């Protein structure tokens, strides 16, 4: 479906992105690289990975070094044996290293890590969704440009044919065979066709501006793209596409991520009210020991701590109720997402089916309109037909060609809609 242009782009991707004329694949990759929204979501995913790394530090010991100086005035002094006994120094020095390690928390740290891992997966899936939607929008603009170009070509062909017909009538008027009324009527049709062409040119320019916006090139509105509309039908097995969609669609992955996160959050809350057992050790040096208060001496401290929650005002109980409700909500969202995916796949398949039928019908219309135009011209040439018959036949042929271009455009977009519905990547 990407055509020969994208195949060439795959052989030289860097050159294609930097060139002024973009293939479909080059357009998609350039848009994805230029969009700051994707960059923002990517950085959010990186931030989630950073939070995950932070949660894993709970399995490692925490070591802290501390050095303090404290000046105390006054200090307690007592008379003793004719002398003054000072119980604490004025200048206090303390330097020590403290190590703490959590021995047992009944799975709270592990549950926290699992929640963070699920959040990382969600952030990555959000990036995929954003890239998918942006690529689809870029592909739609790309094919809008090709469709407008094809429509303008149809109008050019109609205008050229009408002008040739007008030139022939001018000769007939000069020969006294036709009247000036026929020439004027043809001029009206030419002007109408030119007006239609002007409208199409305006639409083409607007689509080029839209592409420039996606590429973040506001100063370059007219960005030429390579390619042409081509009808390339494919067979569609709806059941197989549905299976592919359930496996690959990023929305279903996001729904399952939310469901998994809600379940893990529920487990974390269930364990947050469990006891914890930790150990700590401290080694250092300080002054203030009798009888030499100012002499710095080494010291050590060891501690084992067991923390048991006793009463939290039913906070944990209410948190469990909330977590259970969130889990049920996530399950319901997953079911709704599955229904939406099923509808998207079937709609895309329907669009392709009926666009193909319209293409076949347009082909027949072109053949019929071409034959009608040939006959109308012959009848007019031998004065058994009217100029209006020729003009109507010209209009019908142009409309049939536009209908064929519209059918090709709709079918191609239907193919992209199917790719989007099944979660298939549309860029190389």
Q: Look at residue 347 and tell me whether its pLDDT is greater than 90.
A: yes
pLDDT of amino acid 84: 77
Highest mean pLDDT: which of 6-10, 223-227, 402-406?
402-406
Over residues 160-212, the pLDDT tens digits come to: 999 988 888 888 888 777 778 888 888 999 999 999 999 999 999 898 888 88
pLDDT of amino acid 288: 86
pLDDT of amino acid 388: 87
pLDDT of amino acid 106: 84
Other Cβ atoms closer than 10 A to 147: 23
pLDDT of amino acid 218: 66
pLDDT of amino acid 16: 34
User: Per-residue confidence at 220, pLDDT binned at 50, 70, 90?
Assistant: low
Out of 2.20.200, 2.60.40, 1.10.150, 1.20.1740, select the CATH number for domain 59-104+275-308: 2.20.200
Q: Look at residue 25 and tell me whether its pLDDT is greater than 90.
A: no
The size of the chain, in residues, is 428
Where do the domains of the chain lie?
24-34+107-274+316-422, 59-104+275-308
User: Per-residue confidence at 65, pLDDT binned at 50, 70, 90?
Assistant: very high
Mean pLDDT on 88-110 = 90
Superfamily of domain 24-34+107-274+316-422, CATH level 4: Outer membrane efflux proteins (OEP) (1.20.1600.10)
Q: Which of 2-6, 164-168, 174-178, 421-425 has the lowest mean pLDDT?
A: 2-6
Whether 59-104+275-308 and 24-34+107-274+316-422 are alike in CATH topology: the answer is no
């Amino acid at each position: 479906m990407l055509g020969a242009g994208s195949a060439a782009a795959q052989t030289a991707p860097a050159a294609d992105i930097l060139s002024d004329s973009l293939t479909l694949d080059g357009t998609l990759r350039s848009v994805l690289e230029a969009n700051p929204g994707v960059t923002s979501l990517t950085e959010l995913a990186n931030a989630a990975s950073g939070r995950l790394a932070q949660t894993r530090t709970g399995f490692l010991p925490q070591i802290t070094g501390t050095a303090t100086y404290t000046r105390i005035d006054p200090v307690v002094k007592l008379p003793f044996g004719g002398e003054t006994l000072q119980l604490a120094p004025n200048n206090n020095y303390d330097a020590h290293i403290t190590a703490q390690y959590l021995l047992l928390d009944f799975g709270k740290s592990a549950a926290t890590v699992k929640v963070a891992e699920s959040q990382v997966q969600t952030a990555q899936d959000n990036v995929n969704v954003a890239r998918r939607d942006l690529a689809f929008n870029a592909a739609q603009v790309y094919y809008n440009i090709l469709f407008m170009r094809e429509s303008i070509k149809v109008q050019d062909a109609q205008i050229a044919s009408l002008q040739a017909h007008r030139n022939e009538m001018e000769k007939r008027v000069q020969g006294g065979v036709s009247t000036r009324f026929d020439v004027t009527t043809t001029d009206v049709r030419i002007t109408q066709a030119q007006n239609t062409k002007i409208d199409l040119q305006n639409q083409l320019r607007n689509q080029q501006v839209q592409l420039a916006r996606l590429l973040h090139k506001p100063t370059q509105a007219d960005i030429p793209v390579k390619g042409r509309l081509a009808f390339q039908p494919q067979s569609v097995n709806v059941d197989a596409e549905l299976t592919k969609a359930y496996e690959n669609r990023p929305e279903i992955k996001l729904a399952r991520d939310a469901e998994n996160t809600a379940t893990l959050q529920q487990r974390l809350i269930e364990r947050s009210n469990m006891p914890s057992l930790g150990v700590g050790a401290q080694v250092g040096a300080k002054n203030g020991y009798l009888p030499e208060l100012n002499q710095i001496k080494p010291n050590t401290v060891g501690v084992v701590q067991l923390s048991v929650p006793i009463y939290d005002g039913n906070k944990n109980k209410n948190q469990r109720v909330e977590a259970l409700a969130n889990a049920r909500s996530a399950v319901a969202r997953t079911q709704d997402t599955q229904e939406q995916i099923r509808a998207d796949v079937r709609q895309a398949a329907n669009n392709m089916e009926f666009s193909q039928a319209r293409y076949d019908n347009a082909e027949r219309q072109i053949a019929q309109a071409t034959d009608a135009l040939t006959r109308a011209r012959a009848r007019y040439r031998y004065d058994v037909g009217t100029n209006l018959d020729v003009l109507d036949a010209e209009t019908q042929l142009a409309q049939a060609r536009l209908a064929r271009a519209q059918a090709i455009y709709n079918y191609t977009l239907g193919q992209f809609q199917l790719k989007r519905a099944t979660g298939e990547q549309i860029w190389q």
